[in-house]
Amino acid sequence: MKPTEHNHDMQHMDHNMNMSSGSGMQMNHGSMNMGSMNHGSMSMDMGGGHMMNMGNFKRRFWISLILAIPILLLSPFMGIILPFQITFPGSNWVVMILSTILFFYGGEPFFSGAKGELKAHSPAMMTLITMGISVAYLYSLYSFVIKTFINPKAHVMDFFWELASLIVIMLLGHWIEMGAVMNAGNALQKMAALLPDTAHLITTGDQTKDVPVSELQTKQVVVVQPGEKIPADGQVVSGSSAVNEALVTGEAKAVTKQPGSKVIGGSVNGDGSLHVEVTATSSDGYLSQVIKLVQQAQKEKSKSETLANRVAGWLFYAALIIGILALVVWTIISGFSVGLERMVTVLVIACPHALGLAVPLVIARSTSIGAQNGLLVRNRQALEEVKHLDYVFMDKTGTLTKGVFQLNDLISTSDLSKQELVNLFADVQANSSHPLATGLVSEAKKQGLTITPATDMQAIQGVGVTGTVNGKFYQIVTAKYLDEHHLHYDRNQFETLAGAGNSVSYLVQDQQVLGLTAQGDVLRPESHRLMQQLQRMHIKPVMLTGDNELAAQRVAHELGDIEYHAELLPQDKEQVIAKTQAQGNDVMMVGDGINDAPSLSRANIGVAIGAGTDVAIDSADVVLVRSNPEDIINFLDLAKATNRKMVENLWWGAGYNIIAMPLAAGILAPIGIILSPAVGAIIMSLSTVIVAVNALTLHLKKEN
């Protein structure tokens, strides 16, 4: 992500920056301010792509609970008259009316989710729940009509109690899971919000007209007033101002813009007014390209199916087959009414309360433990993906290294003294927050030099930075730039310095190399342990970096000769991950910037460093709050423990079905054993209690 040959480009996101966008979330080297998150705006996929807003979901749960309470008090539990049951003339009407309202209102999320699952030909949890509550309601309605209008003494059991409890508990389970995951927002919305909605377009006669940003065309000129966001990528044609590019480039300090300077859509204008010629429309700009990559990656990633949904799918088919067989067999033996009741009992039992709580309770416990250990789990699916993990791809600077560069060598190739050379490097980069720049500025201050910030510093994508100092234009560039522009430099010298793990930067003025710096980043001590632990787990670590080949090779060697890919742009990283996945591997990506968002979304598990940016965090499944890469191991251990508990709980929940459905269907009737509703109710309650207790026993066992 950060080419160590001094790539101050628009893709770099500074590890030391303190981002604060629309979400109000701040990330700064492990300190997280979550207080201003708006949980009410959180959404959850209820199945088949049907999204439910958490605020609406919470309201739906409480209203459903209010409707359910009188139903539970006025109706029997699978034919059992409960001690607290109340009856009075007309109470059956109250139960029927409230149950009807509850069925359509409380069940709506499940109906919508089931519709999506069936449309995708993949019935799962939503379909199973819908089947259970639908059969319970329709058969209970049938029972109400029979006993109210046809034969008051008929022995036709209703399932209004089961209907109410199923809906409330399933809503509760999904609410617990939604609240536990703490989804902070949507990365695509965050990136799109970086651009304003309208732009001040200059029309004929130097008049201005407000137009939607989406309608801007290249070569058109727009006015950007003080404090406004720049609507599109472009070039300043008149005016001057200091522009804050932090939200886009990671350069936290304001950058002076004058005629000829390039500006990036989404950056924030300072006190001056700018006339900007549009060079890229909203669909072609940098942010747009990143959004498209993230969108495509998220779309493909969402196709993965969770373990709970697979179990629910199997139970749906099993219940349907067993229920139909029970209907046919018992209709032949004892008549249609008996066969129908047996089938309904099977289908209602197929959706036990325990199964609805099995996974949410474990997820709630897991995310709580994770938070206590510096892990913010934002996507529960990431916990399940761990068991298939083959590769962990990691950014280098700030992740495997400390991101603090020290000056290891300074060489003048002109008549400049070393002190003058350091001074110029610091002047040109004074307004940059890149780790390489801050290292040079710190060195200049240490030497007691006076720093004169460049008046028009610009970050150049894939190259470095430029700026004017005392009327002279300077460039700080990479060796790759020198090669492409056929500028003379000592290649052997570069290979020696880069091969020693240094980031080499060149100062150029009037096509002449004036000197160079060699700066070295320091590996985090925990990075070595991380490599060893991953390899013990049979997971292959891979370093993805924008560094030059020699520097990357050196770091990879220090880490135990791990695999690496060097000189990568953001799209290159995403392609490496996609290619690895295409070979049948599951991968994790660890990154921290807007430019890492496509890779984080593409990977099976995206892990954001806590010191990174909001957009990276919103693209990730897991956030390392303390910015400690060794916390990856804690996450892997927690995920494995969580998976074990989920499997155990699903067995307790589904195990009830495995035993109860055949017995309810009457498979042992020839020897006089038929599961009565009362016994079924006891087993159902017992399995729910066991699931809850088992979830609480989850803990994280840290390896020494």
The whole-angstrom separation of Cα 318 and Cα 313 is 9
| Token pair 């968002």 in the structure block, residue | 597
**What sign has the CA pseudo-torsion 647, 648, 652, 653?**
negative
Q: How many CA atoms lie within 13 A of 566 on its CB side?
A: 17
The rounded radius of gyration (Å) of the Cα atoms in the chain is 31
- Categorise residue 496: left if φ over 0, alpha if ψ from -120 to 50, beta otherwise: alpha
The whole-angstrom separation of Cα 260 and Cα 37 is 40
| Token pair 């610091």 in the structure block, residue | 426
Please calculate the CA angle 148-149-152 and round it to the nearest 5 degrees: 50
Q: What is the 3-state secondary structure (H, E, C) of 6-37?
A: CCCCCCCCCCCCCEECCCCCEEECCEEECCCC
Q: What is the DSSP letter of 243?
A: E
- Closest listed residue to residue 393, CA positions, set 605, 553, 200: 605
Could you give the residue numbers annotated as active site? 395
492: Cα separation from own chain's centroid = 44
Ramachandran angles phi, psi of 222, nearest 5° = -120, 155
The whole-angstrom separation of Cα 420 and Cα 224 is 38
CA dihedral angle for residue 305, residue 309, residue 311, residue 317, rounded to 10 degrees = -110
- Closest listed residue to residue 517, CA positions, set 418, 430, 438, 427: 418
Which residue type does 243 have? Answer: V
Q: What is the DSSP letter of 184?
A: -
Neighbour count for residue 24 (Cβ, 10 Å):
15
Are the C-beta atoms of 488 and 461 separated by less than 8 Å?
no
The whole-angstrom separation of Cα 8 and Cα 434 is 7
The whole-angstrom separation of Cα 137 and Cα 127 is 15
Distances (CA, A) of 699 to 362, 528, 652: 10, 26, 19
The whole-angstrom separation of Cα 607 and Cα 116 is 29
Ramachandran angles phi, psi of 343, nearest 5° = -65, -45
**What sign has the CA pseudo-torsion 186, 187, 190, 191?**
negative
Alpha helix segments (H runs only) across 23-90:
54-74
- Closest listed residue to residue 177, CA positions, set 405, 407, 420, 365: 365
Neighbour count for residue 305 (Cβ, 10 Å):
12
